[in-house]
Amino acid sequence: MKKYIFLILLFLAGPGLSFAQMKHRGGGAARKYPSTDSPKMAATPVKAVIKPFESVITSSAVTKVGLFTVHKVDDKYYFEIPDSLLGREFLAITRYTKTPGNAPFYGGELANEQTLYWEKGPNKNLLLRVSILVNASNDTTQAIYKAVQTSNLSPIVASFDIQAYSKDKNGSVIDVTDFFRLDNQVVSIDPQLKQMMKLGMMATDRSYIQRINTFSINTEVHTVKSFTFQPGAGGGSDRFESLPIPAGDRTGAVTFELNTSFLLLPKVPMQKRYFDERVGFFADEYSLYTDSSESAKKLAYVVRWRLEPKPEDMDKYKRGELVEPNKPIIYYIDPATPKKWRPYLMSGINDWAKAFEQAGFKNAIMAKEWPVNDTTMSMEDARYSVLRYFASPVSNAYGPNIHDPRSGEILESHIGWYHNVMKMLHDWYMVQAGAIDPKARKMTFDDELMGQLIRFVSSHEIGHTLGLEHNFGASAATPVEKLRDKAWVEENGHTVSIMDYARFNYVAQPEDHISEKGIFPRIGVYDKWAIEWGYKLLPDVTDPAAEQKILLKSTSTRLESDPRLWFGGDGIIGDPRSQSEDLSDNPVRASDYGIKNLKRVMKGLPEWTKEENDFQENLQHMYKAVEAEYMNFNGHVLKVISGMYLNNKTDLQKGAVFTPVSRESQKGAVDYLSRQVFQTPKWLLDPVMIDRIGLSPLNETKKIQEQVMSRCVSAAVLLNIIACSQVSKDPYGLPEYLKDIEHGIWGELDTHGAIDIYRRNLQKIYLDKLTIVIKPNAAGEARQGAFLIIEPSVDESDVASYIKIDLAELKKRIQKALPVMHDRMTRYHLMDLTKRINKILSDKD
Ligand SMILES: [Zn+2]
């Protein structure tokens, strides 16, 4: 459930699939399950001898009373498990607390998560089972309940001999030393993560329990675990590059400190709320079996906090008065966080309180400083949600949550905040707002500006921990010209959701004089609606299915009355409204405005990036950032071509679910490509950049041309254009599309002007890409791509025929133009291209 804020999903959304597959798939909150091999701890039970309590827990024992009472006798740790807790479910959450330098994980991050329960075994032993919720039958009185139970046997992951009974005989004392000290798949690092880090066997002589603390609903086990490591084996010193962990590389060993929380799940699970595809909540999915249903029903229920009015306020709540929740959501700020940023991180959290008012709660969420002087509190304690601050070079932040797998109730959250998030924020803001905000024009921003940037990311990550998914469709609810309307945009914000990846108002022009209020994203109408949908109680409805019925109806009404509430998921494939890093309802206009600003930024960079001790690194870095932004803009426009809008509706709602993008919009997108990409973007080839950072104009241009062309003349897009034009009222067919594209690429054939080196490359790339479509190389390059679900088949379509007709005509145009072309290089080029076209048109490979 990690959500990375920095991922640039430029070409993620590709065509080439059936429209129905575009549908946003709900409930994708993946849970990790242990693999089937049994942990080393689960030894065959031997006949145990149960001793008197005093002879096991001797007078030298150090005892801590809590959920499990913990006794330490010499170097052994014992748990006293009350019989009342047998069969009760626990979450076992294992986190790293300290990791080796440059390891891909940091203190506070999750290493393992399991749902466990204790059970009396047959041989005077206690068994530990892992509960895996894939199938469920809610009603224990139904016959099928038994069938579900018998076909979903929970694995026994450990067995403990009972050493003694509790003094009051209502519990069992077991030795847990080796269970926690040694390696297993339940409370140690998840095997997949171990493999990723290239960890070998556990070094048992260098692994031990540091301490065990116990509280009312949780028991906390701190361990030190060492593993062997093959030097040079790789293992990810950076999250996204496979470099060895330096400590392992140098010494052959790596050591982690871990904390495992045993957290008691509520006896009565919170009431579930069923997932609705039209509202962006994380959800858990499982199959529900009932006696009456013909087949198992796939059900998903959302992940959210338990917010309830105090019993004495219930009547007020029902009357619609704002009340405080029984237990507010509290986030603590890691004391390792630099002091000057704390108020902003806290504001980002407190900003959500307004949204909860729409669900009927006031003061529902708040941020607090970690009480450093309170020695009874531990940041690893599962009862506390903490925003952790990591001193690491990663430019990222994430907002996971720990929830009850039976009900979706969020129990705690540890947000990860990496120091270098600020670097990322700096670069975004300079690139996107440098043209309109003078404060963005330096390498180190003023604290107030950086603080506000931090506040925005804090809000976004907190949104995830409240259960909210990304809504990349949010920005599309804003008409493009409103982004330039000072009064409107300052009042309404540039995007209706903080859960979009809509960074800053890059559409606004300097002459619009828009202040930060209209530049920054903030919690918007969609977010408030989503919180209302997920958290507003229907106090008299205690059956989730009945509640679902009511909500389905009221949600339909609400969405029909306010189209701004449309949920666009994490990038719906094919739908140009659902994109990251974009703004407005019009990608073409927005990108045109964006490029106008990028040109200003490019001119400013040499001055803005100046620092005394810097040798052009700033300039080079920021140049790349501007270029990347330009490529983003192109990506937004490309998604318009052969696009398909998806509006999820229930059977009872009227209107189309799938609507092709209009011909006019698609033609507008092709026109953009002609103007902004095919006409060489010379503004990117600034002479200062060539002088100062050694820019190669030819390489830069080629890279851009390649990237755009491999999308717009790919098999996937061409096939999709044919498919979309079949279902469109005003179709944009493939012959017209190819003609429009060529108008931008081959304009010199009409004007008879010289074709310069950039354009010669462009024309060659175009022919190359078409060749790959109809004659794919051995690797089938054109027909496969990460973004394709169905492999398109060019051979079984009209694509090749259209391309061949088109190329035959292009050849004629070239031959007609050749005699009147005066530039020598242009003539050679065109003769070469004629040969290439002949080769494509011949049937020989
Ligand atoms: Zn996110």
SS3 letters across 656-689? CCEEECCHHHHHHHHHHHHHHHHCCCHHHHCHHH
Q: Rounded to the nearest whole angstrom, what is the distance from the C-alpha of residue 5 to the centroid of ligand 1?
A: 5
Q: Rounded to the nearest whole angstrom, what is the distance from the C-alpha of residue 277 to the centroid of ligand 1?
A: 18
Which is nearest to 180 in space by CA: 204, 162, 197, 146? 204
Q: Which residues contact 783 (CB under 8 A, 6 or more apart)?
A: 715, 776, 791, 792, 793, 794
> Which fold, 311-608?
Collagenase (Catalytic Domain) (3.40.390)
Q: CA 502, CA 493: separation in Å to the nearest integer?
A: 11
> With 0-12 CB in 10 A as exposed, 13-18 as middle and 19+ as buried, what is 679?
middle
Q: Rounded to the nearest whole angstrom, what is the distance from the C-alpha of residue 582 to the centroid of ligand 1?
A: 15
Q: Rounded to the nearest whole angstrom, what is the distance from the C-alpha of residue 720 to the centroid of ligand 1?
A: 30
Which is nearest to 685 in space by CA: 637, 632, 630, 633? 630
Q: Rounded to the nearest whole angstrom, what is the distance from the C-alpha of residue 722 to the centroid of ligand 1?
A: 35
The angle at the Cα of 222, spanning 216 to 228, to the nearest 5 degrees, equals 155
Q: Rounded to the nearest whole angstrom, what is the distance from the C-alpha of residue 570 to the centroid of ligand 1?
A: 9
Q: CA 507, CA 592: separation in Å to the nearest integer?
A: 8
Q: Rounded to the nearest whole angstrom, what is the distance from the C-alpha of residue 100 to the centroid of ligand 1?
A: 27
Q: Rounded to the nearest whole angstrom, what is the distance from the C-alpha of residue 298 to the centroid of ligand 1?
A: 26
Residue 428 tokens read as 């975004």
Provide the pLDDT for residue 31. 33
Q: What residue type is 786 in one-letter code?
A: A
Q: CA 293, CA 177: separation in Å to the nearest integer?
A: 47
Q: Rounded to the nearest whole angstrom, what is the distance from the C-alpha of residue 85 to the centroid of ligand 1?
A: 37
Q: Rounded to the nearest whole angstrom, what is the distance from the C-alpha of residue 454 to the centroid of ligand 1?
A: 14
Residue 383 tokens read as 């009862």
Backbone angles phi, psi at 796, to 5 degrees: -95, 20
Q: Rounded to the nearest whole angstrom, what is the distance from the C-alpha of residue 478 to the centroid of ligand 1?
A: 20
Q: Rounded to the nearest whole angstrom, what is the distance from the C-alpha of residue 465 to the centroid of ligand 1?
A: 10
Q: Rounded to the nearest whole angstrom, what is the distance from the C-alpha of residue 295 to the centroid of ligand 1?
A: 36
Q: Rounded to the nearest whole angstrom, what is the distance from the C-alpha of residue 414 to the centroid of ligand 1?
A: 14
Q: What residue type is 618 in one-letter code?
A: N
Q: Rounded to the nearest whole angstrom, what is the distance from the C-alpha of residue 475 to the centroid of ligand 1?
A: 15
Residue 112 tokens read as 């393992």
Q: CA 133, CA 300: separation in Å to the nearest integer?
A: 12
Q: Rounded to the nearest whole angstrom, what is the distance from the C-alpha of residue 500 to the centroid of ligand 1?
A: 8
Q: CA 520, CA 504: separation in Å to the nearest integer?
A: 5
Q: Rounded to the nearest whole angstrom, what is the distance from the C-alpha of residue 469 to the centroid of ligand 1?
A: 7
Q: Rounded to the nearest whole angstrom, what is the distance from the C-alpha of residue 401 to the centroid of ligand 1?
A: 13
Q: Rounded to the nearest whole angstrom, what is the distance from the C-alpha of residue 499 to the centroid of ligand 1?
A: 6
Identify whether the C-beta of residue 382 lies closer than 8 Å to the C-beta of residue 401: no
Residue 809 tokens read as 């005509």
Q: Rounded to the nearest whole angstrom, what is the distance from the C-alpha of residue 3 to the centroid of ligand 1?
A: 5
Query: What is the distance of C-alpha 378 from the center of its chain?
Result: 28
Helix axes 757-774, 697-712, angle to 10 degrees: 30
Q: Rounded to the nearest whole angstrom, what is the distance from the C-alpha of residue 498 to the centroid of ligand 1?
A: 9
Identify whether the C-beta of residue 415 lies closer than 8 Å to the C-beta of residue 388: yes
Provide the pLDDT for residue 796. 75
Query: Which residues are paired to 263 by β-bridges?
Result: 91, 218
Q: Rounded to the nearest whole angstrom, what is the distance from the C-alpha of residue 557 to the centroid of ligand 1?
A: 28
Q: CA 70, CA 174: separation in Å to the nearest integer?
A: 10
Q: Rounded to the nearest whole angstrom, what is the distance from the C-alpha of residue 683 to the centroid of ligand 1?
A: 33
Q: Rounded to the nearest whole angstrom, what is the distance from the C-alpha of residue 321 to the centroid of ligand 1?
A: 32
Q: Rounded to the nearest whole angstrom, what is the distance from the C-alpha of residue 2 to the centroid of ligand 1?
A: 8
Q: Rounded to the nearest whole angstrom, what is the distance from the C-alpha of residue 531 to the centroid of ligand 1?
A: 16
Q: Rounded to the nearest whole angstrom, what is the distance from the C-alpha of residue 413 to the centroid of ligand 1?
A: 15
> With 0-12 CB in 10 A as exposed, 13-18 as middle and 19+ as buried, what is 141?
exposed
Q: Rounded to the nearest whole angstrom, what is the distance from the C-alpha of residue 411 to the centroid of ligand 1?
A: 20
Q: Rounded to the nearest whole angstrom, what is the distance from the C-alpha of residue 461 to the centroid of ligand 1?
A: 6
Q: Rounded to the nearest whole angstrom, what is the distance from the C-alpha of residue 128 to the centroid of ligand 1?
A: 36
Q: Rounded to the nearest whole angstrom, what is the distance from the C-alpha of residue 4 to the centroid of ligand 1?
A: 5
Q: Rounded to the nearest whole angstrom, what is the distance from the C-alpha of residue 628 to the centroid of ligand 1?
A: 20
Q: Rounded to the nearest whole angstrom, what is the distance from the C-alpha of residue 528 to the centroid of ligand 1?
A: 17
Q: CA 394, CA 238: separation in Å to the nearest integer?
A: 8
Q: Rounded to the nearest whole angstrom, what is the distance from the C-alpha of residue 6 to the centroid of ligand 1?
A: 8
Q: Rounded to the nearest whole angstrom, what is the distance from the C-alpha of residue 455 to the centroid of ligand 1?
A: 14
DSSP 738: H
A 10 A CB-CB count for 124 gives 16
Query: What is the distance of C-alpha 527 from the center of its chain?
Result: 17
Q: Rounded to the nearest whole angstrom, what is the distance from the C-alpha of residue 395 to the centroid of ligand 1?
A: 13
Q: Rounded to the nearest whole angstrom, what is the distance from the C-alpha of residue 349 to the centroid of ligand 1?
A: 15
Q: Rounded to the nearest whole angstrom, what is the distance from the C-alpha of residue 464 to the centroid of ligand 1?
A: 7
Which parts of the chain have pLDDT scores under 70?
A: 1-48, 133-152, 231-243, 287-298, 380, 394-395, 776-792, 843-845
Provide the pLDDT for residue 678. 98
Residues of the chain with CATH 3.40.390.10: 311-608
Q: Rounded to the nearest whole angstrom, what is the distance from the C-alpha of residue 470 to the centroid of ligand 1?
A: 6
Provide the pLDDT for residue 99. 87
The angle at the Cα of 384, spanning 378 to 387, to the nearest 5 degrees, equals 95
Backbone Cα Rg of the chain: 31
**How far, in Å, are 138, 265, 296, 532, 545 from residue 272 at the CA level?**
11, 15, 18, 15, 9
Provide the pLDDT for residue 143. 55
Q: Rounded to the nearest whole angstrom, what is the distance from the C-alpha of residue 483 to the centroid of ligand 1?
A: 23
Residue 129 tokens read as 């089972």
Q: Rounded to the nearest whole angstrom, what is the distance from the C-alpha of residue 604 to the centroid of ligand 1?
A: 31
Identify whether the C-beta of residue 799 lies closer than 8 Å to the C-beta of residue 773: yes
Q: Rounded to the nearest whole angstrom, what is the distance from the C-alpha of residue 460 to the centroid of ligand 1?
A: 6
Q: Rounded to the nearest whole angstrom, what is the distance from the C-alpha of residue 501 to the centroid of ligand 1?
A: 7
Q: Rounded to the nearest whole angstrom, what is the distance from the C-alpha of residue 573 to the centroid of ligand 1?
A: 18
Provide the pLDDT for residue 317. 98
Residue 671 tokens read as 């026109």
Q: Rounded to the nearest whole angstrom, what is the distance from the C-alpha of residue 397 to the centroid of ligand 1?
A: 8
One DSSP character per residue, 521-552 reads ----HHHHHHHHHHH---TT---HHHHHHHHH
Q: Rounded to the nearest whole angstrom, what is the distance from the C-alpha of residue 387 to the centroid of ligand 1?
A: 15
Q: Rounded to the nearest whole angstrom, what is the distance from the C-alpha of residue 493 to the centroid of ligand 1?
A: 19
Q: Rounded to the nearest whole angstrom, what is the distance from the C-alpha of residue 569 to the centroid of ligand 1?
A: 11
Q: Rounded to the nearest whole angstrom, what is the distance from the C-alpha of residue 677 to the centroid of ligand 1?
A: 30
